[in-house]
Amino acid sequence: MSNNNPLAQANIIGKRVAQLGFDWPTWHGALDKVREEVAEVNAELVQPAIDDQKVKEELGDLLFSVVNLIRKLELDPEDVLNQANSKFERRFSQIEVLLGSAGLSVEDASLTQMESAWQQVKQNE
């Protein structure tokens, strides 16, 4: 596979195996797989001694599963991620403004204050 973009490559792999019949009939199965992978990530993270390699592997499986869910919904994973990035940056900029109007910088604000501002920004959208 010659594509160097792992997100696009995961989508291509998913499409290829789907053409061979290795796919869920609906997005519901893909969403169930995402839930399963989240549980597997959690299982690794609650171990007394976290194995970084196992966590990395499970996170990769989770990302791959999310790409497959996006594919099942007939969306482009890069578009979905670009939109999420833009939304996050827009919201974080609004947090900076909101905190600034309260006389705080992001660096000086507590996590609780930033989370409160985040929730306010989300409500205002």
Q: pLDDT tens digits, residue range 31-87?
A: 999 999 999 999 999 999 999 999 999 999 999 999 999 999 999 999 999 999 999
The predicted model gives 17-44 an average pLDDT of 97
**Is the pTM value of this prediction over 0.85?**
yes
> Does position 125 have pLDDT exceeding 60, yes or no?
yes
> Does position 123 have pLDDT exceeding 90, yes or no?
yes
Terminal C-alpha separation, the chain = 41
- Rounded to 10 degrees, the C-alpha dihedral 30/39/91/105 comes to -170
pLDDT of residue 58: 98
pLDDT of residue 3: 60
